[in-house]
Amino acid sequence: MPEHCLVTAEVFPVDPEAPSILLSVALPARWNEKAVWLGGGGFDGVIPDVTGNSLNTLAPTPLARGYAVFASDGGHQSTAASPGTDASALANEEAYRNWLSDAPKKVRDVAGHVIRTYYGVDAARFYAVGSSTGGREALFATARFPADWDGALVLYPARNVVNTMVGLTAMVQALSAPGAFPSAAKRKLVWDAVLAGCDDLDGLTDGVVGDVVSCNARFDVTALRCAGGADTGDACLSDAQIHAFEAIDAPVRLASPLANGDTEFAGYNVYSAAQGVGTDSPLEPHVRSVGLGSRAPSFPVDPLTSSLAAAFVDSFMRHVVVKDPSFDYRTFDARTFGPHAARVQALSALDVGDADMGGFAARGGKLLLLHGTGDMLTTPRTTERYVEGVRASIGATAADAMLRYYEVPGFQHAASTVFQVSWDGLGALEKWVETGNDPGDDEVVTDLAGVAGRTRPLCRYPTFARYRGTGDPDDAASFACAAP
């Protein structure tokens, strides 16, 4: 670890009932005259390690590269055993807004002052780096305050919070229906059938579904139906289990539009990722947690068996929407919102603003965006719509100069047993911002788990990596980016 000074600070709230924002700034002795902000995760509540790294990279840490590094707890301090799933502090409106979008600006200003005071000059560059919640925070920061940032690296952003919670609610409700929850053996049955029908669509049978669009159109889960529709064992799916898979894949149509204009939640690519199928990988518990869990959703939530989807929805509904600690999240109406419609709409109105990237594009800002196709917490379909919305609002030319979006087949939320991502996204962002070296389709991502060490090209959405037909199947050079 390089020699550095560690500064801690506190940003006081406007509302005396709201918690402060706590932050840390690491100031290296050998400074590269640049700064990096690291985003949080889940409902925040703890300060990320400013001497550590962002997720999904084995590259040197920002501090080791000479960056001044800063991060915050998102605007509240959690004492829960699992702070990332604790939304209790967000019942306060200022705390909620800090977590949603406001904390990064306040922290950026304070950290900038600390950096300037310590070194005697301002940082020449500011980069935002975040995954999941941190990714959403980075999008809000660059859209609302474009002059503050030169570039952003965003992985699987948990944006459009109300819409995302609607989708998670619909999923846990589908899995809560009597007889609907699929065991690991049932999930492996589906996964094996998906591989049999879709694995070679990208030109190579390698355990990764590369052409997700074609697979979604082709795969028919009803072909696995048990005779008569009853659950007769692990070799088939009951009608209740088929309905659960279909409900998770399908869009959730809303009875009326949300305040941000959304009319539906887009659904998940539930078929094209191994959602906890019982492998012996050390990543299996994480994959099971960020997927469907190991048992049907319960109330109260069982932290040992429930999915993170259930834990997030449970805390969000009880503390932020309904504000009743005894509320059973499984009873929430994900399509009409029932008696809580006014509150949902008010929260949805706060979800706008992260797609207004005109100012960031105009100042020459650069955004690298990556999402895994198998993510069951923050669906890549929402990120796809975000990218399409940015292109529509600022025009294709401006969007192409500012944004690169990549999808990684098989990658899930932070970790995957199919394709575990390692990528030096910060290095790619630096080159693009500082030398004009456009990453285009030239970036390579490494798998650390499915087949450790194999590489694939990062292909700009909506293209995917197709095997050329010859060459080492574990080498990115043997693939070309192709349209679905």
Residue ranges with strand state E in 29-143? 34-38, 68-72, 125-131
Known catalytic membership, residue 202: no
Given the residues 78, 88, 101, 132, select the one marked as catalytic.
132
Residue ranges with strand state E in 21-102? 21-28, 34-38, 68-72
Known catalytic membership, residue 132: yes
Given the residues 86, 211, 314, 375, select the one marked as catalytic.
375
Q: Where are the alpha helices (DSSP H) in 228-356?
A: 239-249, 284-290, 308-316, 341-348
> Which residue carries 């306040």 as its tokens?
106
Length reported for the chain: 484
Given the residues 4, 76, 243, 413, select the one marked as catalytic.
413
The burial of 434, by beta-carbon neighbours within 10 Å (0-12 exposed, 13-18 middle, 19 or more buried), is given as: middle
Q: Taking Cα atoms as reference points, which of 242, 252, 111, 101 lies closest to residue 170? A: 252
Q: Is 165 helix (H, G, I), strand (E, B) or coil?
A: helix
| 8 A C-beta contact, residue 465 and residue 475 | no
Structure tokens at 164: 């995302």
| 8 A C-beta contact, residue 304 and residue 288 | no
Q: Where are the alpha helices (DSSP H) in 263-326?
A: 284-290, 308-316
List the catalytic residues.
132, 375, 413
